[in-house]
Chains A and B, each alone.
Chain A
């Protein structure tokens, strides 16, 4: 039984790999859908409203207590939203560049789904990480590289719309994305330094980075790097207070103004998918991944794997809530403030932190 389960979780055969990939993509899309619900509910609470509490379906509504709980909690809302996207009129306006207009949402979402291969979720009883691509030596770097391609989705979407405001949003958005990518790359170098102790050969593998945080999380050892990385995730996912590409107060709807139906829906899923990936990266690199302090889940066997998954999921949920919380706490920056923060504050901070870590290691060995 356990052997079969293990086979399902890590067999290198193509059908197994594809099935796992599909499950992971399905899970992330579901999480993305429910993050939207979390966003709507949490914003409602913060603003003293009730949020979505009407959507329900026959059958489910007739179950005595559960039915009204699901309705009031808005738990059926994501399914309704998805269905609505699916059956909406799907126009392609006459003024757009058609091939790129259709291609852009696919390019925006594909990198977010592709990098999922790198994310380890927990550790199997034999110590190998539970991930699609567990042994990848260049793990984190590959994630950065592939997710940096997502910028073309925004750039193409805005350009192909042949409309002023989407184009403005796209150009601002891509300049913002590349600016913060730099500070992000520099801020994680100290983490690589901490992980790559003599004898560790795959310091870029996320599972190795998690293993290196046993005892003390990187957020304690590298608070400055964690802070810079955190701000950069917010900028890279185009979340408030950095949502320059959308910025509906001055750009109508930003780069996806001209989009409708599921083409808009794909941009939307891509944003929330990037949120999930950014949170996972932060959790894996700075918050100990699937570990808890003072709890030895590795010794529990199969139960430890499940516990690790649960811990990871709990941290992810908390982090997604943090995203929403920040959105309703900090007002949006002006564009020049965004660029100044990236180049004049975060970049020097990241470099200073790197030099400091370099000096400390040179003295202390």
Chain B
């Protein structure tokens, strides 16, 4: 098993990979720009493609509030999941060492379940209504 304390050197490959991951697509685009056929704009190419019909209305139409609700609910549940990750790592260790954790976890999971049931019962994400 790995040691409790890790050094930065462990994560050096991640940094390298992030740099590579950003530079390789950029390099591909550059090469493609150099070798690709020169682009010539014309009236048709410079219009937004809407199946050949002239564009109508606003480019960025107003959107339903449901998308905002989705994003906000996502954040709230995501934070609860984040709190549960360290729990998943220590839960069995605590059980084996008879440290009281079951009741507390039950309360926290209960809050999560209650929130979920409330959200589902109120139909916050009913897309048709």
On whether A and B touch (CB less than 8 Å), the answer reads yes
Residues of A within 8 A of B (CB): 12, 14, 17-18, 20-22, 25, 85-95, 102, 105-106, 109-118, 132-133, 135-137, 141-142, 146, 159, 161-165, 167, 171, 175, 178-179, 181-182, 185-186, 189-190, 192-193, 196-205, 208, 252, 257-258, 261-263, 265-266, 335-336, 339-340, 343-344, 347-348, 351, 354-355, 358, 361-362, 365
A204 touches B89 (CB 8 A): yes
A263 to B77, CA, bound (A): 34
- Evaluate contact between B16 and A105: CB separation under 8 angstroms: no
Residue of B nearest to A257 (CB): B49
User: Does B16 contact A25, Cβ atoms closer than 8 Å?
Assistant: no
Residues of chain A lying within 8 A (CB to CB) of residue B46: 93-95
Provide a sorted-by-A list of 20 A–B residue pairs whose CB atoms are within 8 angstroms: A86-B35, A89-B38, A90-B37, A90-B39, A93-B48, A94-B46, A114-B17, A114-B22, A135-B6, A136-B11, A142-B14, A162-B48, A171-B67, A185-B78, A200-B1, A262-B32, A266-B25, A339-B125, A354-B84, A361-B95
Docked-complex contact B24 and A113, CB < 8 angstroms: yes
B127 touches A335 (CB 8 A): yes
CA distance A109 to B109 in the complex (A): 36
Residue of B whose beta carbon sits closest to that of A193: B88
Q: Is the CB of B92 within 8 A of A22?
A: no
Q: What are the 5 closest A-B residue pairs judged by CB atoms, nearest first? A: A113-B21, A336-B127, A94-B46, A163-B48, A262-B32
Q: List chain A residues, Cβ under 8 A from B49.
A: 163, 165, 252, 257-258
Count of A-B contacts with CB under 8 A?
243
In the complex, the chain B residue whose C-beta lies closest to that of A172 is B67
User: Which chain A residues lie closer than 8 Å to B88 at the CB level?
Assistant: 189-190, 192-193, 196, 203
Are B77 and A88 closer than 8 Å at their CB atoms?
Answer: no
Please determine whether B85 and A198 come into contact, CB atoms closer than 8 angstroms: no
User: Who on chain B is nearest to A258 by CB?
Assistant: B49
- Among A93, A142, A159, A199, the residue within 8 A (CB) of B45 is A93
How far apart sit A184 and B78, CA to CA, in the bound complex (Å)?
A: 11
A interface, over-half SS: helix
What residues make up the interface of B, taking CB atoms closer than 8 Å to A? 1-2, 4, 6, 9-14, 16-18, 20-22, 24-26, 28-29, 31-33, 35-41, 45-51, 55, 57, 59-61, 63, 67, 70-71, 73-74, 77-78, 81, 84-85, 88-93, 95-97, 102, 105-106, 109, 112-113, 116, 120, 125, 127-128
**Measured CA separation A164–B113 after assembly (Å):** 38
* Residue of B6, B40, B51, B88 ringed by the most chain A CB atoms within 10 A: B88
Chain A residues, CB < 8 A from B78? 181-182, 185
**Contact yes or no, A135 B10, CB < 8 A:** yes
Q: Give the residues in chain B near A114, CB-CB below 8 Å.
A: 14, 17-18, 20-22
Q: Indicate if the CB atoms of A14 and B4 lie closer than 8 Å.
A: no
Specify which chain B residues have a CB less than 8 angstroms from the CB of A344 in the assembled complex. Answer: 120, 125
B25, A175: Cβ atoms under 8 Å?
no
Q: Assess the A164–B48 pair: CB atoms within 8 A.
A: yes
Q: Which residues of A contact B13 (CB under 8 A)?
A: 17, 20-21, 117, 132-133
- Give A304 Cβ to nearest chain B Cβ, in Å: 20
**A351–B111 CA distance with the chains assembled, in angstroms:** 12
A117–B14 contact, CB under 8 A?
Answer: yes
Contact at A351–B60, with CB atoms within 8 Å? no
Q: For B17, list chain A residues within 8 Å (CB).
A: 21, 113-117, 132-133
* A85 in contact with B20 (CB, 8 Å): no
Query: When the two chains form their complex, are residues B35 and A196 in contact, meaning their CB atoms are under 8 A apart?
Result: no
Q: State whether B70 touches A178 (Cβ < 8 A).
A: yes
Q: Whole-angstrom distance from the CB of B43 to the nearest CB of chain A?
A: 10
CB-contact partner of B70 in A93, A133, A135, A175, under 8 A: A175
Q: Which residues of A are found within 8 Å of B127, using beta-carbon distances?
A: 335-336, 339-340
A197 contact set on B, CB distance < 8 A = 92
Nearest CB of A to B11, in Å: 7
- Across the two chains, which residue of chain B brings its CB closest to A29? B24
Task: Return B108 CB to nearest CB of chain A, in Å.
Answer: 10
Is B31 within 8 A of A182, CB to CB?
no
Contact A339 B28 (CB under 8 A): no
